[in-house]
């Protein structure tokens, strides 16, 4: 059986696509590198956000997560979750006054500091919002959808926190000697 023109065209297009991906610098996402090896988690490890953040921090395999208050002095950095606020705000109502659309909001404030008190990341707030249509006749399904939307926002916020933690550079306390 002789190779056809279509076979050659397919092979050529696949090899060009592969060469294009290699040439553009494409890489698979890699785990985060942190400037610290020990992190003290000063947040609730039982809240949904705390559980997901803890799982992501431990999942990197590149740092030890300390949770006991006695271990705080051994940590290279301390992550404080200052607040976590979930809100439901009605943004659309019908002519009879029934809620037709909700806006779900999730705000998380956090900071990163050293045990000595030097701030590596000053207090910052990350904010997410999602819109949710609402119907009294489908209240149960809308409640489930609301939980899914909050979980999606939470995952996005945890990923943003992880990226910010990986961008931190620890300052050296030793002065640099000049020749």
Q: How far apart are CA 73 and CA 14, in angstroms?
A: 55
What per-residue confidence (pLDDT) applies to 171? 63
Neighbours of 56 (CB within 10 A): 17
pLDDT of amino acid 174: 43
41 forms beta bridges with 79
For residue range 56-94, what is the model confidence (pLDDT) as tens digits?
998 888 888 898 889 888 999 999 999 999 999 988 888
Read off the pTM: 0.75
Who's near 37: CB < 8 A, 6+ residues apart?
62, 63, 64, 76
Which of 153, 152, 80, 179 has its CA nearest to residue 121? 80
The predicted pLDDT at position 9 comes to 81
Residue 152's region, left for phi above 0, alpha for psi from -120 to 50, else beta, is alpha
How far is 72 from 15, CA to CA, in rounded Å? 54
Query: What pLDDT does 7 receive?
Result: 81
Average pLDDT, consecutive stretches of 10 residues, N- to C-terminus, the chain (179 residues): 73 76 64 83 88 91 87 91 93 85 94 92 95 85 92 95 88 47
């Amino acid at each position: 059986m002789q190779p056809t023109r279509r076979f050659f065209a397919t092979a050529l297009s696949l090899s060009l696509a592969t060469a294009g991906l290699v040439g553009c610098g494409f890489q698979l996402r890699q785990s985060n590198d942190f400037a610290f090896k020990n992190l003290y988690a000063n947040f609730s490890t039982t809240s949904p956000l705390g559980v997901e953040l803890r799982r992501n921090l431990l999942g990197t395999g590149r740092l030890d997560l300390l949770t006991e208050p006695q271990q705080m002095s051994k940590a290279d950095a301390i992550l404080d979750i200052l607040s976590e606020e979930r809100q439901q705000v009605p943004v659309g109502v019908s002519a009879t006054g029934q809620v037709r659309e909700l806006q779900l909001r999730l705000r998380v404030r956090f900071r990163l500091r050293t045990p000595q008190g030097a701030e590596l990341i000053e207090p910052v707030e990350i904010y997410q919002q999602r819109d949710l249509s609402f119907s009294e006749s489908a209240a149960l399904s809308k409640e489930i959808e609301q939980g899914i939307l909050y979980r999606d926002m939470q995952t996005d916020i945890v990923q943003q926190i992880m990226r910010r933690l990986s961008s931190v550079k620890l300052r050296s306390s030793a002065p640099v000697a000049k020749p």
